[in-house]
Amino acid sequence: MIVNVNNLVKRYGDLTAVDHLSLHVKEGEIFGLLGPNGSGKTTTINCILSLLKHDKGMIEIFDKKMAPDAYDIKKDIGVIMQNVAVFDELTVRENIDYFCGLYIEDKATKKKLVEEAIDFVGLKDFVKFYPKKLSGGLLRRLNIACGIAHKPKLIILDEPTVAVDPQSRNKILEGIVELNRQGATIIYTSHYMEEVEQICSRIMILDHGKIIAEGTKEELKNMISLGEKITVEAYGITDKQISEIKVIPNLHSVTYSDNNLVVKSNKGKNNLENILDYIRKNAINFGRIYSEMPTLNDVFLEITGTELRD
C-alpha cells in the first residue's frame, strides 16, 4: 500500500473538517478525491503530508509512519499545492532547479531531471521567464514542474487546474496520466467531476469531511438508482402531456423547463424509443435530442441531495 490512512479526524474548534476518514491508495493508481469546496479534501491532504496536526487517526506512506521529519518518505513524494508556490525572483528554470535541488544533490542528475521536467510541462520556450510574465496556465505548469522534477514515486496534486484555460487543463491532465504511466502513484483532488472521471482509476467522494462513496467510476454509478438521462428540446408541452409521460414504465423522473424535457430512467432501463414514440404520436415540435449515462454529479446528487457544484 502506498498510502494508508485509518480513522483520520481533524477538528477546527467545533467544526469537524475530516470525520473518521479511512483511505487506502495502491501502487500505480490514480486516486481521485472528489468533493465540493470545503468538503475536507485539502485538509485531508495536509494531514497526510504531516503539515497539519490531526486529532485522531493513523497515517502511513510507503508502509512507514508519516511524520514531519520523515525525510526518507518525503524524498519520494512530490506535492503540487492548490496555490502556486514558486519564487517570483527566480526564472522558470531556476525555480525548477531550486526545488529539484532540495531532493537531488548530484549536479548531473539534477540537471537532467530539470530538463526533463521542463520538456514534460512544455515550458522550454519560457525557461528564462520570471513567473510574473507567465499566463495562469503556464504558471500552473511551472508549479507542477517544481513538484515533479525529482521523479517522485507518489505525486499529490491538490486542485492543480483551478483557474486554468482549457488548453493548459488538457495538457495538465494528459501529463498526470503520463506520469502515472511512467510509474508514479497519483492522488488527485478536484471539485471538477469531469476531470476526476476522465483520469482517475478509483474515486472517493467527500462531503462535510465524510466519505460518501468510494470505488471506480462504474462502481459509483452502479450505486445509484438512476439510469439513462434523455434530454429533448421540445416546445409547448402541456401539464397533461407531462402527466402522461410520467406513466411510461421504468421512468425515474420527468421535468420540463425552458423548453427542455428531461426524462431520467431507472438503473439499467432504456426509454429513448418510448419517449420518441410519445412525441411523434402527440405531434410535439422538437429540436435536439440527446441521451447520456449518469455522471458523478448524479451520484453526488442522489446521495447528498445537492449538486456537486453547489
Partner 1 sequence: MFIHIFRYRLLTLLRDRTLIFWTMIFPVILATLFNLTLRNIGENEKFNIIDIAIVDDAGYQENTQFQQTIKELSEGEEAMFNLILIDEDTSKDKLLTGDIAGYILVDDTMKVVINQSGINQSIIKIFLDQYSQTSSAITNIIMENPSAMSDVLSEVDSREVFSKEVSVSDAKPDSSLTYFYSLIAMACLYGSFFGLREVTDIQANLSNQGARLNMAPVHKLKSFLYRSMASLSIQFVEMLILMAYLRFGLGIDFGSKIGLVILTVFVGSIVGIAMGAFIGAIVKGNENSKVGICIGATMTGSFLAGMMVGDIKYLVDKNLPIVSLLNPVNVLSDSFYALYYYDNYDRYILNIMILIGFSVVFCFITYLILRRKKYASI
Q: How far is the CB of 83 from partner 1 (least distance, A)?
A: 4
Quickly tell me which residue has 423547463 as its cell.
257
CA–CA separation, 25 and 59 (whole Å): 12
* Binding-residue total with partner 1 (CB under 8 A): 33
Q: How far is the CB of 98 from partner 1 (least distance, A)?
A: 5
Q: C-alpha angle 67/68/74, rounded to 5°? A: 85
Binding map of partner 1 across residues 90-129, x = CB under 8 A, - = no contact: x---x---xx-xxx-x------------------------
- Which 3 state secondary structure label does DSSP give 287? strand
CA–CA separation, 136 and 64 (whole Å): 37
Q: Are strands 285-292 and 226-235 parallel, antiparallel or unpaired?
A: antiparallel
Residue 235 engages partner 1 in binding (rule: CB under 8 A) = no
Q: How far is the CB of 213 from partner 1 (least distance, A)?
A: 27
Q: How far is the CB of 187 from partner 1 (least distance, A)?
A: 13
Residue-by-residue DSSP string for 254-268:
EEEETTEEEEEEETT
Contact predicate 143/84, CB 8 Å: yes
Q: How far is the CB of 69 from partner 1 (least distance, A)?
A: 7
Contacts to partner 1 from residues 27-86, by CB under 8 A: 46, 49-53, 67-69, 71-72, 74-75, 77, 79, 81, 83-86
Q: C-alpha angle 286/292/298, rounded to 5°? A: 120
Applying CB under 8 A, the residues found at the interface with partner 1 are: 12, 46, 49-53, 67-69, 71-72, 74-75, 77, 79, 81, 83-87, 89-90, 94, 98-99, 101-103, 105, 146-147
